[in-house]
Amino acid sequence: TGYITHDPGFVNTGAASSAITYIDGDAGILRYRGYPIEQLAGKSTFIEVSYLLIYGELPTQTQLAEFTDKIQRHTLLHEDLKAFFSGFPRDAHPMPVLSSAVSALSTFYQDSLNPFDEANVELSTIRLLAKVPTLAAYAYKKSVGQPLLYPDNSLGLVENFLRMTFGFPAEPYEVDPDVAKALDLLFILHADHEQNCSTSTVRLVGSSEANLFASISAGINALFGPLHGGANSAVLDMLEGIKAEGGDVANFVTRVKNKEKGVRLMGFGHRVYKNYDPRAKIIKNTADEILSKLKGGDELLDIAKKLEETALSDDYFIERKLYPNVDFYTGLIYRALGFPTKYFTVLFALGRLPGWIAHWREMIQDPATKIGRPRQIYTGSAERNYTPISER
Ligand code: CMC
């Protein structure tokens, strides 16, 4: 009724009240449940951060042990779920494979359908945290034509995922602690980011009282796009492209500024940050260390740094307040850890999973939640009369 606000892209629309994540985009501040991201990145672990986001407080020793144990007991997939992976073309992109598999979880766990059954929401939460890494590893294994591995529940979440991804059934797999630590850090940095496109999608789908698996599957599809999670793969493709053309960074920046169709500086710019993305700051500081440890340096990192330097001293980027975002340096690290470019966005999904779950649970428990149903400004034809096809 009455006045409708037109806000394309929801630039100024507060669609939810939330106590999970605080961002001050001008100051470059990010906090999960009040804790600065810098402290969590330096001192916490991904599993602890997952607990914090979902339940609101850092766990005690006992709570963390129970949470870890519950997750470890749910990492196996139903054998029938594995058949699912054989239905996709081998060169399928792993993101739609993952979203389809997560969607299929609601067919395997039909006890999950009532979003107000708190015990089952808790079980679905644990099932997701435990099984999505297994599903993600299987999506990878299928894409490279290698046999699937059962989870090894003596390992932690990240170690188990690495073993299922890079290990072989009959061979022992030594998890490199540097690799596990780097991935754990990247997961922490991706774990939540308030009302971004995929989280808003999870909340919107969930607002119709769709179950947690269905809502998260929708979130994974939203994350797939290159302006959102897909940017981490796009950055690497961009850096490879610049390298192939002789490393001419200045020429690439000119093409961006000329707004050549399809040419953006990927990994730059953010809807909320009008300052250096605090996550990118942390990653940049660790990228050097990780890359030289794992690979003895990387030519693409040099191109990325030159690109950043060129952009940050250019009026086009200064005027528009465009700074590196979280995805600018992550791809280089994922590549050094051994992941193919196509797979990077799946790693973002693994990191964002606890954030999506926390938001869905907050949304479903909030008495103020109503079904998400935006309005529109109608721009079509005025009323007109139907003409029979013979007269058109
Ligand atoms: N390269 C060149 N120009 C840019 C870029 C960029 N990466 N980002 C924004 N601009 C320009 C844009 O053309 C516009 O210029 P003008 O005012 O002359 O039309 C101005 O800056 C404002 O941009 P916008 O598109 O209105 O900003 P937005 O808030 O709608 O978009 C964004 C935010 C992240 C989609 C955008 O900055 C972008 O496309 N970046 C590249 C993709 C990327 O790195 N995405 C990852 C985001 S962080 C991870 C995540 O949470 O998903």
Task: Report how far ligand 1's centroid is from the alpha carbon of 270 (Å).
Answer: 6
Q: DSSP state, 194?
A: S
pLDDT of residue 299: 87
Q: Of 153, 212, 145, which Cα lies nearest the Cα of 360?
A: 212
pTM (2 decimals)? Answer: 0.95
Q: Which residue is closest in CA terms to ligand 1's atom 49?
A: 228
CA 14-222-218 angle, to 5 degrees, is: 95
Q: Which residue is closest in CA terms to ligand 1's atom 41?
A: 266
Strand partners, 324: 268
Strand partners, 201: none
pLDDT of residue 109: 94
Asked if pLDDT for residue 1 goes beyond 70, the answer is no
96 touches 150 (CB < 8 A)? no
Residue 327 is a catalytic residue: yes
Element (DSSP H or E) covering residue 32: strand 29-32
Query: Domain limits of the chain?
Result: 21-224, 231-337
Interval 141-168: pLDDT, tens: 988 889 999 999 999 999 999 999 999 9
Interval 98-134: pLDDT, tens: 999 999 999 999 988 999 999 999 999 999 999 999 9
Q: Which residue is closest in CA terms to ligand 1's atom 50?
A: 228
Residue 6 is a catalytic residue: no
Q: Which atom of ligand 1 is nearest to the CA of 271?
A: 29
| Residue-averaged pLDDT of the chain | 94
Q: Which atom of ligand 1 is nearest to the CA of 269?
A: 37
267: left (phi over 0), alpha (psi -120 to 50) or beta: left
Write down the CATH number for the domain with range 21-224. 1.10.580.10
pLDDT of residue 289: 83
Which of 277, 298, 327, 359 is labelled catalytic? 327
pLDDT above 70 as % of the chain? 99
Q: What's the fold here for domain 231-337?
A: Cytochrome p450-Terp; domain 2 (1.10.230)
Which of 228, 270, 277, 359 is labelled catalytic? 270
28 touches 278 (CB < 8 A)? yes
Task: Report how far ligand 1's centroid is from the alpha carbon of 192 (Å).
Answer: 20
pLDDT bucket at 202, cuts 50 / 70 / 90: very high
ipTM of model over 0.95: yes
Q: Which residue is closest in CA terms to ligand 1's atom 51?
A: 228
Q: Which residue is closest in CA terms to ligand 1's atom 44?
A: 267
Q: Which atom of ligand 1 is nearest to the CA of 223?
A: 52
Say if strands 21-24 and 35-36 run parallel, antiparallel, or are unpaired: unpaired
> Which residues does ligand 1 sit against, CB inside 6 Å?
9, 193, 196, 227-229, 231, 256, 264-271, 320, 322, 325-327
Interval 56-89: pLDDT, tens: 999 999 999 999 999 999 999 999 998 888 899 9
Task: Report how far ligand 1's centroid is from the alpha carbon of 362 (Å).
Answer: 29
- In 220-333, the DSSP E strands lie at none
